[in-house]
Structures are given as C-alpha cells and as structure tokens.
Amino acid sequence: MPHSRLNLDEKPILIFWEMTKACLLKCRHCRAEAIPNPLPGELSTEEGKELIDQIRGFGEPYPVLILTGGDPLMREDLEEILRYARNSGLRVGIAPAVTEKLLSSLEMLSRYGVRFISISLDGMRETHDYIRGVRGHFEATLEVLRGLADDGDRWILQVNTLVSKESVIDLPEIAHLLTGLGVKIWELFFLIKVGRGVELTDLSPREYEDVVHFLFEVSKYGIEVRTVEAPFFRRVYLTRRGEMVEDVSGGGDYVDRIARKHGLGDLYRRLTRRLTDLMGPQMGKPSMRSAQTRDGYGILFVSYNGDVYPSGFAPYRLGNVRSEDIVRIYRENEILRRIKRAEFRGRCGSCEYRHVCGGSRARALALTGDILGEDLACIYRLNSIGSGGS
C-alpha cells in the first residue's frame, strides 16, 4: 500500500466497513459481539454504494476499503458491493470468518479484484478452538491458509493473531507455523476489553513490553510484523534497530543480555528461547512496515449502521455516513484533529515518541474513559526505557 504518498491529515490509508454483525462463529474476543443474524439498521446496498462514492471523495490514491464484520460473507449483496467498488477504482481487502462459505467464495472475491485477505489464527489447536468457540476450527483454518499461501500470486495474505493471557504462550509456535506456510505478514491484535473481549484476560504492562521485544526478534526471520493497539512496538523497533550491532557483538547469552539491558522479564526470555529452538539462530535484519498510524489517524471505521469511529476498538462516535460525508468527518472532526496532532494527556502527551506511537487510543478510552488519555499498557517513561511502572 502506498503509505508514503498519502497525507494522513487529509486521508486515511485504511477504511474499515463493518458490513454486518452476522457471523456463524462465537469468538470469545469478538469486538463486534457478532450474532447469527443481521441486526436491523445495517447500511443498505445503496447506502453501501454511497459510502464508496464518499470514499472516492478523498481523491486518488483512494484509501483501501477493508470489508469486515461479523462476517462480510454473510452479506447477500456482497458481490454487488464488490462490483461497484471495483468499477469505482477502489482497492478492496476482506477479513472473513473461516467457515464453509469462505472456500466457496474465493473465486468470486478474486473475480472482483479483492487482493488483500486476512485470516485469524489465535493460537495453536486447543487455544485457537477455545477462542473461536468451535472444535476443529484450527484444522479448518490451516486448510484455508495452505490454499491461500499456495496461490500467492492471487492473494496478499495476512494472518491476524490475538495477544492475551490465553494466547500469548503460543506465539513462537505460530511464528514457526507461518514461516513454514510461507506467510509473510503477521498482524497481532493486542486485547482491548470491548465487546466479548471482556471475557478474556489482559497482559500486564511489563508483559506487554516483553511481547513487543519478542516480536522484534520475530521480525528477524523474514516475517513482516504489524501490531494493532500496541503502537509502542514502533518505539521498541526504533530503539532496538539502532542497537543491532551491539546486540550481536556482545558476549554471553543473547537473550539474558537483551533482557537485562531493557529491563525485560521471564515472558520475553521464555518466548524468545522457544522461538530460537523452533527456528534456529536469527539470520536476517528486522522487518517492520509502518506508516505511524493510530486510531483515527490513517485509520477510520464505519460500523454496520453507518456510525464512524476512530477504529473498530475505539467506539467513540464521530458522526454517521447517512447524514455526514466521511471526508468531512475525517478532516474536520475536532477529536480527530487532536489525535492527528498527537495532543494527548498523561505520559502519552509528554512522550518524545507521541508522533511515532501515540499510544492506543482504544485502550485509553476503554480503561480511562478518555480517548485522548494515556495508554496504561505502556511502561515507557520519558527518556527511560523499562524503568517505569504500569
């Protein structure tokens, strides 16, 4: 995606449209609190086309439209919407649920130019099936991933993984699995307690720091690591990348040396040692691609009924596309302007990384009630990595 060509003050990179709340799964962390049947008030087919017309108002290159839900494959008019989006010049991605309907829909998706597809894998067998609420869903997901990876000329495949107490210990095994499948993009969704996500257990701030440092190690194995609601990964990436020569040249145990230097705990050690056991010594340079987006800056979310939020995990209503133009909302809403200018409160507002990171606006909203507040999951203190509390 052409990140460098977009002025994020004027247009987002990604617009997510929650096409429906309907989904056949009952995932324990579902932000949308999806249900088997559509809710009243979904944007109609014509209103969906009007949304596409509004998105074109941002001008070329248009933001990428990501169709999500629930399960967007549950929309009976999906093919008509895709045809209209393609004819309108929009690039479209989709985040479907892994059900029998997905395999039968791939040809249709390809026919209308859908190239970006993201599939969720939230742990190894027992963990994934527990989180997804369906026995055998892990194997079904692997079957889909194998097929999509083998047809790599057709799809840009991304795997999404939840990070919570329930799933975190499986992360090295998932990284190993993805490299074996040839998956190059891994996006990790750090738990925000919204929707059914309140049922799961969050990591402590110290454990968050351990995990993002572990992800830096993962990025050396040819996987492009992305994070959702953990933008402080960028701060860790920038810091660690600048120390790469020192990291590899010092004596003693690498994992212990890094842990001591950055004040990391047992979780970092355990995850990184398991990763090395599975995948061998780190061979490449770290890989991360980021446009320094955050909720409401480079990202916008349209709910099933047309309400506009900074992101799907930050249900702070900015307007509604039925009565307001999405371009005007993105460019003129005062809260979004403050998010774009990184005008935050607490530690996020005084942090030298506030423009690079800015903290999770969704977590600030969920935990403090203030979308401009500080991200309580980040332990960073100004000019001191690893020395703060929660």
Stronger pLDDT, 27 or 169, i.e. the higher one: 169
Residue 370 domain-assigned (yes or no): no
> Which pLDDT does position 242 carry in this prediction?
79
**pLDDT single digits (tens) 158-174:** 999 999 999 999 999 99
Residue identified by tokens 């509390």 is 389
Torsion angle of the four alpha carbons 251, 256, 259, 265, in this order, in degrees rounded to the nearest 10: 180
- Rounded Cα distance, 308 and 324, in Å: 10
**pLDDT single digits (tens) 182-236:** 999 999 999 998 877 677 899 999 999 999 999 999 999 999 999 999 999 999 9
Which CATH number covers residue 142?
Answer: 3.20.20.70
> Which pLDDT does position 58 carry in this prediction?
98
Helices 205-218 and 266-279, axial angle in degrees (round to 10): 20
> Which pLDDT does position 152 carry in this prediction?
82
Provide the mean pLDDT of the chain: 91
At 45, which helix (H) or strand (E)? helix 45-56
Other C-beta atoms lying within 10 Å of the C-beta of residue 184? 17
Q: Per the structure, how many domains does the chain have?
A: 1
User: Which is nearest to 193 in space by CA: 367, 59, 53?
Assistant: 367
Average pLDDT of span 43-48:
98
**pLDDT single digits (tens) 327-373:** 999 999 999 999 999 999 999 999 999 999 999 999 999 999 999 99
CB 366 within 8 A of CB 194: yes
Residue 328 domain-assigned (yes or no): no
The Cα-based distances of 208 to 160, 229, 287, 375 in angstroms read 17, 11, 20, 12
Supply angle C-alpha 11, 364, 62, rounded to 5: 15
The Cα-based distances of 190 to 145, 227, 290, 328 in angstroms read 22, 7, 17, 30
Stronger pLDDT, 57 or 385, i.e. the higher one: 57
DSSP class per residue in 103-136? HHHHHHHHHTT--EEEEE--SSHHHHHHHHT-TT
Give me the domain span that covers residue 235: 3-279
> Which pLDDT does position 382 carry in this prediction?
41
**pLDDT single digits (tens) 261-279:** 999 999 999 999 999 999 9
Residues with Cβ < 8 Å from 281, sequence gap 6 or more? none
**pLDDT single digits (tens) 240-264:** 987 765 554 434 589 999 999 999 9
> Which pLDDT does position 247 carry in this prediction?
54
- Rounded Cα distance, 120 and 175, in Å: 13
Residue 221 domain-assigned (yes or no): yes
> Which pLDDT does position 250 carry in this prediction?
39
